[in-house]
Amino acid sequence: MTNEDTRNATWIEHPQALQEWLAALPPAATVGVDTEFMRTHTFFPQLALLQLGHGAHRALVDPLACNLDGLLQSSLGSASMVTVMHSASEDLEALAPALPQGPGTLFDTQLAAALVGMGLGLSYRALVQTLTGVELDKGETRSNWLQRPLSPAQRSYATLDVVYLDTLHEQLSARLEQRGRSAWHAEECARLKQRGSSQDSDPQPQRTMRAAADWPAPKQALLRRVLLWRDATARQLDVPRPWLLADALALDLAHEPPATSTTLEQHSRGQRALRSVQRRDLLELLGRPLDAAEIEATMPVIGHAQGASKTALKAMKQHVDTVAAQLDLPSGLLCPRKVLEEFAVTAVWPTFLDGWRHDLLQPGLSALLPDNATPAAATAP
């Protein structure tokens, strides 16, 4: 692939031109998709460029000039069309306003590489080099993609991000088929698509705060209230969550709520997006009494494994490593440590381990639970 070839990508800045490019695709086309976005100062990713590729036809779509609403879902959203992406989660999030239901059929090349024994988290550049022998230039990785006009180097870099997706898809599809793991990959891509295109907030954000694991239920419920407020307000203001309320501050405020606005202001100095209006709302919700329903609705924060659970976790980790080695899979893909630790502590089978992982792991892991633990019929959310 020459530089001249990559610069021949069609630059699209009008909806009609994008409609025409998409309309020219066969009904069962395989389309490479990538994005460039910025998220330094905002809650939501700012889509700066959309790259499309089908065979020798490539397009660079300027979402700053071309309104994408309603243009992508009817084409990329078709189940007969395969959308090929590499490490798609953040790209799907950036595309969510224009592709709210996600691609009809997603093929993630990074996931495929992991499932065929090539390692976890392989970069696009490394994967292209391994499968095609081509070494890509990554000189524009930290480029400002919101600037206009884009430089020739930016356009070339952006185009290369979709040039090889079709080749990767072809080779990795064959390897998945040879190993009998095409269904596994499809399941993982469906899960990835669901996560990436969802714009809903986490209804139980306190569960990520392990420092609160030994707090009483009312304190955990107050922490949940604070974190839900932070998420909703950050979305409304379109600012990063830590600009509004850092994790450490959220923990401190929920553990020892300030009694006055002066105290709150003293504690929250340095929070870039926390203004007087937000401080007033925050003080009100910190002082509002908790009722039984709110406490009941708060799922407990899971702490680190201790005692018998810690011993069980070690044995479970060894079991996962053994199964992963037998399957030539990364242990972290088969079962992340965080998921395993939660099962060891709660004895509740995690939903992450449903699907293709269930029969591989459930009998062995359940047998390793501590003697005083009873595997629950329900699954963890």
Q: Which residue has the higher pLDDT, 7 or 199?
A: 199
Which of 6-15, 52-61, 206-215 has the weakest average pLDDT?
A: 6-15
Stretch 213-224: mean pLDDT, rounded? 98
In this prediction, residue 310 carries a pLDDT of 96
In the chain the beta strands, taken as DSSP E runs, fall at 10-12, 30-38, 46-54, 57-61, 82-85, 105-108, 348-350, 376-380
In this prediction, residue 376 carries a pLDDT of 45
CB 109 within 8 A of CB 172: yes
CB 161 within 8 A of CB 52: no
Work out whether strand 30-38 and strand 105-108 pair parallel, antiparallel, or are unpaired.
Answer: unpaired
Phi, psi of 49 (to 5 degrees): -160, 140
The tokens 């022998």 sit on which residue? 133
CB 323 within 8 A of CB 360: yes
Q: 78-111 pLDDT, tens per residue?
A: 999 999 999 999 999 999 999 999 999 999 999 9
CB 60 within 8 A of CB 159: yes
Stretch 65-74: mean pLDDT, rounded? 92
In this prediction, residue 200 carries a pLDDT of 79
Residues 6+ apart with CB under 8 A from 348: 342, 375, 376, 378, 379, 380
Query: How many residues are there in the chain?
Result: 381
CB 172 within 8 A of CB 116: yes
In this predicted structure, the answer to whether residue 379 has a pLDDT above a threshold of 60 is no
- Tell me the pLDDT of the chain averaged across its residues: 93
In the structure, what pLDDT confidence band is assigned to residue 215 with cuts at 50, 70 and 90? Answer: very high
In this predicted structure, the answer to whether residue 372 has a pLDDT above a threshold of 90 is no
Q: How far apart are CA 63 and CA 145, in angstroms?
A: 11
In this predicted structure, the answer to whether residue 4 has a pLDDT above a threshold of 50 is no
In this prediction, residue 5 carries a pLDDT of 52
Q: 269-296 pLDDT, tens per residue?
A: 999 999 999 999 999 999 999 999 999 9
Instruction: Name the amino acid, one letter, at 339.
Output: V
The tokens 């390692």 sit on which residue? 119
Domains and CATH numbers, the chain: 3-197 (3.30.420.10), 205-296 (1.10.150.80), 307-380 (1.10.150)
CB 210 within 8 A of CB 303: yes
Beta bridge mates, 49: 36
Residue 310 tokens read as 């810690």
The pLDDT > 90 percentage for the chain reads 90
Stretch 307-317: mean pLDDT, rounded? 97
In this prediction, residue 196 carries a pLDDT of 78
In the structure, what pLDDT confidence band is assigned to residue 143 with cuts at 50, 70 and 90? Answer: confident
In this predicted structure, the answer to whether residue 7 has a pLDDT above a threshold of 60 is no
Q: 219-243 pLDDT, tens per residue?
A: 999 999 999 999 999 999 999 999 9
pTM beyond cutoff 0.85? yes
Q: How far apart are CA 132 and CA 166, in angstroms?
A: 12
